[in-house]
Structure 1
Amino acid sequence: MVSLSNLSPGQRSIVSEALKELEEQLGRPLYDELEGDVVYLFTVEEKRVVKLGLGWINNVNDVSPVRHLTHLMLLGLSRTDVSDLSPLKNLKELRELDLSKTNVSDLTPLRGLKKLRVLWLNDTRVSDLTPLKELKELRKLNLWDTDVSDVSPLGELKKLERLDLEDTSVSDISPLKNLENL
């Protein structure tokens, strides 16, 4: 990933309306730096934003501008105030999503993200995994410190290799017995 501050003025023109909308929402340019550390990161491939990291930014609670970034493959929202995932439902190219330490509870908007391989949900309000049952490409799922108690929706995720259930209420892992890669 590269920092927006490292882009030349010509490259900045590549940035889509979605990023401009995010700038307006945050009230500052996306290429600002905080105490010398780059806060917002993104990667541009073929004039498309494919990676976007907005983690650790407290005033990010509405990610609706991201809905326009349809080529996004990686999205980091860790430690933000995000709770509504509906703007993500059409990000069909998304491969990795970090929602750790957010206010997320409803995963329904993720059910159509068929290419998703890595999902970080640790320290969220998630309890129902049913929307994940069709995510057949999912390989890594972190559920540490969530309200999850039933893992049966994960029983058909044959590509699942890593699953973190630490500090959950899960007592029956028998639905996972046929997951050979786990």
Structure 2
Amino acid sequence: DKDLMEDQTDTQEAQNSDAKSDQDAPFKAFSSLEHLSVSVSDLDADGLLFLRSFPKLQSLHLSIFEDDKTVLDLSPLSTLSSCTDLSIEGPYEKPVKNIAVLSGMPQIESLRLSQLQNLKDLNFVKNMPNLKSLTLKQVPILNLDGLKGHLSLNSLDINCSSLEDVSVLPTLSSLQRLQLNYHTYDIPDLHSLHALKEIDIYEWDRKQVAHMPSIQKLVMNNYIMEYSASFMKGMKALSDLTIYGSGISGQTDPDLGSVLHELPSLAKLTYIGTPFNRYGDYGLAYAGTGAKEIIVKPPLGDSTSVNNPLVPVSLKKMKDDHTVESLTLNKATIINVDNESQNFSENAGSFLPHFKSLKKLVLSGDKLENLDCIKGLKNLEELDISDNYVSDLTPLLDLPHLKKVNIAGNPIANREVLPSTIEVLP
């Protein structure tokens, strides 16, 4: 009887081994795979067991779709001992099993977690000593306590509507990048974070980062109130500034221009949507800032004209600029606050000549009717006038350095006048 039982056990083990071999067979050719992005739904009982076939996997992006039949078990993630870059996007309306597996992955360096209904705390991070980058999107955590004092974390991106307490942020001494999407919680003072270089915040957070000399990249999201730009004074390392505005509320005061002129490292300005008061003079926020690139554009994915950007300036007081080499005005309206004129072609003719060093100019979707506004831009090398109403290209012949022009979406009548030395798109 004993021998019979041993034979049966051996037979069962052999069958299990064969079954595993059969399940893994389709993946054998990919056993050396290092990077995998996969979407899963309607899985059978084996779930994510196929991951054991990829022992060398370094990066995994896992998207989980709603499955009424099974609850996905994350425990097979424990087999990925070489994985340092992990992204999990869950089905928010349904929990996943064994999310605690994250506590057993100390090798993780970059982690992105999205829509995981039963992720209620970040205590697992204490077992990830090498974690450098963490992104949290719509996970139902209430606080960031699990991150307290984490030494290796240098990038944190949070978009969680349930979050109430971020008081541990000042304990993240290695933090270099911080992005906080729309929130109602209070941010603590961040001046102790001497390594902080990049931050994305809202207007009501500005006091917590005011005058910080380490900030190199700042994204300001305007929302409700009008505010002075004086909090940026002293940001000597600031090279890249983005100001985002939506609607008619939440605007940066016209003192922005004078503040920008005091920032010695400024190289790039991006104005998205409607961050400015349409009746104010923001000429100094465009000319003489020291920036080499200025971008004015609507919010990404906004198909309406409600948030198309406004450029309110006094054309009588406008000063010359000698540093801007690249200027983008996408679906923009130049408002001459001297007479409230909004005719783009006319106002651009007075606005653009002030930029003496311009090499690249984008005027896309601006209701431009002619090219009179580019006269005198002798240094221009690249021009984009796509999606306008221009028919005559002859003014381009007066631009001796022009190498490339995009004329898509215009009723051009004389394309053939351009010499072969100019690349024409499309």
TM-score higher than 0.5 here? Answer: yes
CA distance in 1, matches of 2:35, 2:129: 19
CA distance in 1, matches of 2:113, 2:124: 12
Of the structure 1 ranges 155-164 and 117-126, higher mean CA displacement relative to structure 2 is found in 155-164
Q: Residues 168 and 158 of structure 1: is their aligned pair in 2 closer, same or farther, counting only changes over 3 Å?
A: farther
Say if 2:145 is the partner of 1:89: no
**Contact (CA 8 Å) 1:118, 1:140: kept in 2 or not?**
yes
Alignment of 1:49-88 (within 5 A): 49-88=108-147
State the match for 2:222 in structure 1: 166
Alignment of 1:1-182 (within 5 A): 2=35, 6=51, 8=53, 28-29=73-74, 39=88, 48-130=107-189, 132-144=190-202, 149-160=204-215, 161-167=217-223, 169=225, 171-180=227-236, 181=238, 182=241
Equivalent position amino acid for 1:95 in 2: N
Of the structure 1 ranges 1-10 and 84-93, higher mean CA displacement relative to structure 2 is found in 1-10
**Contact (CA 8 Å) 1:143, 1:166: kept in 2 or not?**
no
Deviations 1:58-105 (A, max 9, x none): 332212122221221011112211221111013211011111234223
Which structure is higher in RCO with an 8 Å CA cutoff and minimum separation 6? 1
Q: Residues 2 and 97 of structure 1: is their aligned pair in 2 closer, same or farther, counting only changes over 3 Å?
A: farther
With the length of structure 1 as denominator, give the TM-score of the two structures.
0.68
**Contact (CA 8 Å) 2:107, 2:130: kept in 1 or not?**
yes
State the match for 1:35 in structure 2: none
**Contact (CA 8 Å) 2:178, 2:200: kept in 1 or not?**
yes
Equivalent position amino acid for 1:105 in 2: E
Q: Residues 54 and 48 of structure 1: is their aligned pair in 2 closer, same or farther, counting only changes over 3 Å?
A: same
Q: Residues 82 and 170 of structure 1: is their aligned pair in 2 closer, same or farther, counting only changes over 3 Å?
A: farther
CA distance in 2, matches of 1:155, 1:58: 36
Deviations 1:129-150 (A, max 9, x none): 31x2211222222224xxx625
Q: Residues 124 and 61 of structure 1: is their aligned pair in 2 closer, same or farther, counting only changes over 3 Å?
A: farther
- Count, aligned residues: 154
CA distance in 1, matches of 2:75, 2:35: 12
Structure 2: segments with no counterpart, 5+ residues: 1-33, 37-47, 58-70, 78-86, 90-105, 242-426
Q: What SS does structure 2 have at the residue aligned with 1:62?
A: coil
With the length of structure 2 as denominator, give the TM-score of the two structures.
0.32
Root-mean-square deviation over aligned CA pairs: 3.2
CA distance in 1, matches of 2:53, 2:149: 30
State the match for 2:308 in structure 1: none
Q: What SS does structure 2 have at the residue aligned with 1:76?
A: strand
- Bigger radius of gyration among the two: 2
